[in-house]
Structure 1
Amino acid sequence: MTDHTPGLLWERAAQHADRTAIVDGGRTHDYAELLDASSRVAHTLLDGRSDLDGERVAFMVTPSFQHVAVQWGIWRAGGTAVPLCLSHPPAELAYVLDDADPTVVVGEAAHAGLLEPLVEDRGLRWLRVDDALQGASGPLPTVPLDRPALMIYTSGTTGRPKGVVSTHGNLEAQIGSLVEAWAFSSTDRTVLDLPLHHLHGILNVVGCSLWVGATVEMHARFDAAATWERLASGDLTLYMAVPTIYRRLIDHWTAAGPAERDRLTTGVRGLRLMVSGSAALPVPTMRRWEEISGHTLLERYGMSELGMALSNPLHGDRVAGSVGFPMPGVEVRLVDEDGVEVEGHLPGEIQVRGDTVFLEYWRRPEATAASFTDDGWFRTGDIATRRDGRYRILGRSSVDILKTGGEKVSALDVENVLLGHPGVAECAVVGLADPDWGQRIVAAVVPVEPDLDTDALREWCRGHLAPFKIPKSIHLVDALPRNAMGKVVKATVADQLES
C-alpha cells in the first residue's frame, strides 16, 4: 500500500531535497529550491498575517518551476489555489475572478497587461511572480487536511463553469490512489504537455510525480517535434496526454522519413507507461499509436470532481474502448434512471463514493446537494456499461446519449465507427431536434482529403452500424471546436450544424 504520511506535498518534498524536481527552459530545480521558493511566495502572500485561512488566490503562470512554486506557496500560506487558463480572453477571466472572489491575483509580467485592468477594476491585490519569489521566508501556518486547497473551473459544456473545490485531504487521496495503481516512484521522469488549470496536468502528472520525488520536465506549450525528441531520448519513464496530442504525435511521425521513424519508434519503446485521458480515446488512435510505439495506451476515466475513478490495469490487458476497473480506494456503481443499481450488462449512470470526491461547488449549495445521493454517492452524469468488472463509457447522459426514433444511441460508438474509415481524420456526432425522430443523428467530419464523398461514407456505415445509428447527414468541416483539454465542445458543433 502507498504511504500516505505526511499528507501534504511540501512536507513530502523535504524527503527528496537534493533530487531534481522540475526542469524547464534548460534549467534544473531540486526539491530544496522548490521548498525555498514556495516558502518565499507564501510569506509574501501572508503580508504580515499568520494564515490565509482558505482565502482564494488566483494565479496565471506558464507551466514552469515558478508555476509550482506559486501553487505551493498559496497552499503553504493556508490559501485556496485558483489556477487561471492561459488562453482565456478577458471576459472569461473576469467571470472566474468574479465567481471565485479571490483576495489576491498572482501573475507573470507577460500577463500583466491582461490581468492588471481586471484586478484594478475589482479592487484586488495584484502580485507579480518575480516580486513574490524575492520575498523573505518566515513562519508559516499549519494547514489541516480538511481545508480547501484547489478550485478548478469545469469546462462549462453545459451552463457556466462551476468552481470545483477540493480539500488537501481529497488531493492526498487522489494522488495516493494513482501512485498505487500506476506504481509511481522516485526514479520516474516525465514531460508535461498539458495545461495546469485542469486536474490532468495538476494532479496526474505534476502532483503524483512530486509526491514520490520524481522529475517533471515542463514544456510551456506542446510542440510535437520537441515532445518526440524527449520521448525518443531514453530519459523518460512515463507520459500522459490527451487524444488530440497523440493524434498530433502520430501525424508528426507519419510525416517523417523512414530513418527518422525508426529512431523515434526505437526510442519511445523504452517508456514504462503511456496514458490517455480527459477525452474519449478513439479506438483507431489507440491502435495506430500501438503500431508506431509498441505501447497500448492506458485509458482511464476521471473528473475534476473526483480525480481518477476507473483505470485500465498497469499490468494486464488493456481493452480498446474500455476504461477498466475502479481505482484503489474508490467505490463505483451503475444506477438506472430511478437510482436503482443495475445488474448484468445494462447501461447506467456512473456514481462514485470515497475520500477522493470533492468538497463542494463553490457557492452553489443547491448544485452541490443535487450532485449527491442521500447516502453520499456522487452523480457523474456519465453513462457506462460493465462486463466482467470492466467499464465502458457510452457518453454523458445530456450530450452523448442520443434518442432517435425511440432508440438510444451512443454518439461515441458512432464516432469510433466513422474514425475507422480511411477518409475521416476527426469527427463529432450530435443529436439535433427533429419533429419525427426526437433527435436526428448528424455528424461533423474533418476529412483527410477535402473531396470526401459524404453519401459514400453514409453507405459505408451500413456495413458497420445498425440503420438507426447511421447519421442522417454528414457535414464536412475544417476543424472541430475544442476546449483547452482537447475535448470537442458538442454544443458548439450542434449550433454550427443547425445554422
Structure 2
Amino acid sequence: MSKERPWLDHYPDGIPAEIDVNSYRSVAAVLDEAFKRFRDRPAFSNFGRTLTYGQIDEMSAAFAGYLSGELKLVKGDRIAIMLPNVLQYPIALFGALRLGLTIVNTNPMYTVRELKHQLEDSGAKAIVVLDNFAATLQQSLSGTHVEHVITTGIGDLIGFPKGAIINFVLKHVKKVVPAFSLPKAVRFGDALSRGKSHPLPTVDVTHDDVAFLQYTGGTTGVAKGAMLTHRNMVANMLQADAWIGASTTVGEEIIITALPLYHIFSLTANGLVFTRLGGLNYLITNPRDMPGFVKELSKVKFTALTGVNTLFNGLLNTPGFDKLDFSKLHLSLGGGMAVQRAVAERWKKVTGVTLSEAYGLTETSPAVCINPLTLIEYNGSIGLPIPSTDVAIWSEEGTPLPIGEVGELCVHGPQVMKGYWNRPDETAKVLDENGWLRTGDIARMDENGYVYIVDRKKDMILVSGFNVYPNEIEDVVMQHPGVAEVAAVGVADEHSGEVVKIFVVRKDPALTEEVLKAFCRENFTGYKRPKYIEFRDSLPKTNVGKILRRELRNEEKAKAA
C-alpha cells in the first residue's frame, strides 16, 4: 500500500478501501429499500410498543402526505423536529426525507434564545414539537418563518390505555408539561389521519440536495448549521456499514438507542445504518434515569449499544447493570467524546465485550475513524480512517506532518459537509478549496495508520510553555478507584501562565484531596499535576452527556475577575 494511506494495510479482512457512494441516489432510496425488504420485521420500539418497517413506511408516507398535500411544503423547505427518542421521531424524519425536505434537528432542551436563533437562522417553515417543550416554542416563534406547528405527547403512539396514562402522569402528576398556547397547532395523530388521503408525491431527491441542517459549534459562540447532503449521509451509512457489516446479522440486530436521534452520532449510526440492516432500534426516551434505563435493558436481549463515555460510565455505576444478560451483545461503540481507559476496561470486564472507540464530527456526518471490531482490548486510539476517507495531520501552516508528529487532524472524504448554512466566512475557516476539513482536534497518527486524539485545540492547557492535554489528566485520574467522574481545565496562574485544576465527582465519599494529590504525584510529571482539586456532586454536561469543560473554565474566569 502507498505510504499515503498506511491504514489500509491494517483493515480487518473483507473491509473495502472504497465504498460506492453512487449505489443510492438519496437517503430516501435507502429507506424505500429497507421498507420493502424488511416489511414485517420490527423497526422501532418504545415504552412497550413496537412498529414494523411496514407500519413505519405507511405512517411516514401519511406524514409526508400531510406535509405536501395540506401544508404545501416542497423540496428544499426546512422542517424542524424537536423530539426526544419517541416513535414520532422516525416517522417525522422519514416522511420529511421522502419529500426532499431539509431536516433541522432541534435539541428539545434548548432555551428560548437558542431555539429562536435556530428557527430564524434555518428559515424553518414547520416544526414538530413534544408537548413538554411547546411552551419554549411559543415564546420563540415571533420573528421566525414558522407557519405550521405539529404537537405531540410522549404517549401518543403507544396505544390505549398505556399511552393515555403516560401523558396524564407527565402532565398532572410529574408536572413536566408546562402550559402552552399554540392555537393553530395540529396534533401529530391528526396530521397522520389527514395525510392518508393525500398520495405520496414523486420527488426526485438527489445527492446534492441538503438532507440535514445539523447545528453545531454553539460552544464557540453562535451555533452554525452544517449542511449535510444526501450524498454525505449515504456515504457515511455505507462507510459505517462496510466497517460493521461483517459482524452484524441482517434483520436480526437489536440496537439500544439511548443517545438522542437528533444528535448526529445516533442519527446516522443507529437511526440510519441499523435501518438499512433491518435492525430494531430500541428507543430510550430518558437515559438520564439510569435505574429506569437498566430496567429497560433487562427486558431485551440487545446485540448493539452506542453511547458516549459518560453513558457507559453511568451504566457501570448503576446497581443491577452487571446482572444483565449480555449473551447477545457483540457491538459496543463509543463516540462523541474520548472513551476513558478505566471505563473501557471495566466495560470489558462486566459485559465481556470490547468498547470500541470511534471518532466523528457533525461536519462529517459523523464517522471519520473507527477501531476494528476485531480489537481484543481498549487501545487508546480512535481507530483507522474508514473506507473512502483520507486523514492527515497538519501543522499550523497547513503542511502535512510526518508520522508520529502532533498537529491538527484534517479529513477528506464524501462524508464531509457542503459547508455552513449561510456562513461562507465560517466555512472558509474550516474547509479548504480541495475539500479538506480542519477538525480543530489535535492528534497524531502511528505507522499503522491508527489515529490518537491528543485534545481539542481550545481545551489545551499551557503550563510554563508546556502543552498539557486535559484528556490525559482525566484518563489517569479516572483510574483512581475513588473517582466517578472528572474534568480538567486550565486556570490562570501568575508564575506559569496556567495550572491544572480538576473537578471531581467522588465514587468513594471518603476520598480526600491529599489522597488524590498523592496519586497524581505518582502518575504525572510536575507541570501536569493538578494544583487545585474541587469536589462536586455533578459536572455540567451537554444534552448527550459530554462534559462541558468550557463552563467550568468560565466559572473559574468569573471567580478570578
TM-score scaled to structure 2, two decimals? 0.83
Q: Give the letter aligned to residue 240 of structure 1.
A: T
Quote how far apart the aligned CAs of 1:158 are. Answer: 1.9
| CA distance in 1 between partners of 2:244 and 2:213 (Å) | 25
Pick from 342, 349, 353 the counterpart of residue 284 of structure 1. 342
| CA distance in 2 between partners of 1:428 and 1:144 (Å) | 44
Residue 246 in 1 paired to residue 268 in 2?
no
1:150–1:373: structure 2 CA closer, same or farther, 3 Å change rule?
same
| CA distance in 2 between partners of 1:163 and 1:70 (Å) | 20
Matched with 1:445 is 504
> For structure 1, which runs of at least 5 residues remain unmatched after alignment?
none
Quote how far apart the aligned CAs of 1:82 are. Answer: 0.8
Quote how far apart the aligned CAs of 1:452 are. Answer: 3.2
Pick from 443, 449, 456 the counterpart of residue 389 of structure 1. 449
Q: Is the 8 A contact 2:419 2:431 kept in 1?
A: no
| CA distance in 2 between partners of 1:60 and 1:140 (Å) | 26
Matched with 1:132 is 191
| CA distance in 2 between partners of 1:206 and 1:479 (Å) | 30
Pick from 28, 31, 49 the counterpart of residue 50 of structure 2. 28
Q: Is the 8 A contact 1:151 1:165 kept in 2?
A: yes
| CA distance in 1 between partners of 2:230 and 2:543 (Å) | 25
Pick which of 145-154 and 456-465 moved more.
456-465
Quote how far apart the aligned CAs of 1:49 are. Answer: 8.0
CA distances 1:152-194 after superposition (whole Å, capped 9, x unpaired): 1115222221111101110000111111101143221112111
Q: Alignment partner of 2:218: what SS?
A: coil
Matched with 2:182 is none
| CA distance in 1 between partners of 2:433 and 2:130 (Å) | 44
| CA distance in 1 between partners of 2:471 and 2:71 (Å) | 51
Matched with 2:119 is 97
Q: Give the letter aligned to residue 143 of structure 1.
A: V
Q: Is the 8 A contact 2:123 2:145 kept in 1?
A: no
Q: Is the 8 A contact 1:105 1:119 kept in 2?
A: no
Pick from 435, 442, 448 the counterpart of residue 376 of structure 1. 435
> For structure 2, which runs of at least 5 residues remain unmatched after alignment?
1-15, 151-187
| CA distance in 1 between partners of 2:137 and 2:33 (Å) | 33
Matched with 2:234 is 172
Matched with 2:205 is 143
Greater relative contact order structure (CA < 8 Å, 6+ sep) = 2
Matched with 2:369 is 310
Quote how far apart the aligned CAs of 1:79 are. Answer: 0.9
| CA distance in 2 between partners of 1:452 and 1:189 (Å) | 40
Matched with 1:41 is 63
Matched with 1:409 is 468
Quote how far apart the aligned CAs of 1:90 are. Answer: 2.1
Quote how far apart the aligned CAs of 1:242 are. Answer: 1.3
Pick from 59, 66, 70 the counterpart of residue 88 of structure 2. 66
Q: Give the letter aligned to residue 238 of structure 1.
A: A
Residue 398 in 1 paired to residue 458 in 2?
yes
Q: Give the letter aligned to residue 10 of structure 1.
A: L
Matched with 2:256 is 191
Quote how far apart the aligned CAs of 1:250 are. Answer: 0.8
| CA distance in 1 between partners of 2:503 and 2:131 (Å) | 40
Residue 12 in 1 paired to residue 33 in 2?
yes
| CA distance in 1 between partners of 2:225 and 2:370 (Å) | 25
Quote how far apart the aligned CAs of 1:422 are. Answer: 2.1
Q: Alignment partner of 1:463: what SS?
A: helix
Pick from 278, 283, 289 the counterpart of residue 213 of structure 1. 278
Q: Give the letter aligned to residue 490 of structure 1.
A: R
Matched with 2:153 is none
Pick from 200, 215, 224 the counterpart of residue 153 of structure 1. 215
| CA distance in 2 between partners of 1:348 and 1:95 (Å) | 34
CA distances 1:122-144 after superposition (whole Å, capped 9, x unpaired): 35222322232222331231211
| CA distance in 1 between partners of 2:290 and 2:46 (Å) | 17
1:226–1:474: structure 2 CA closer, same or farther, 3 Å change rule?
closer
Pick from 530, 537, 540 the counterpart of residue 471 of structure 1. 530
Pick which of 315-324 and 21-30 moved more.
315-324
Q: Give the letter aligned to residue 28 of structure 1.
A: T
| CA distance in 2 between partners of 1:120 and 1:370 (Å) | 32
Quote how far apart the aligned CAs of 1:432 are. Answer: 2.2
1:110–1:469: structure 2 CA closer, same or farther, 3 Å change rule?
closer
Residue 274 in 1 paired to residue 332 in 2?
yes
| CA distance in 2 between partners of 1:155 and 1:187 (Å) | 37
Q: Provide the aligned length of Structure 1 versus Structure 2.
A: 490
Pick from 403, 408, 414 the counterpart of residue 355 of structure 1. 414
TM-score scaled to structure 1, two decimals? 0.92
| CA distance in 2 between partners of 1:453 and 1:72 (Å) | 52
| CA distance in 2 between partners of 1:112 and 1:57 (Å) | 16
Map 1:312-327 → 2, pairs under 5 A: 312-327=371-386
1:35–1:417: structure 2 CA closer, same or farther, 3 Å change rule?
same
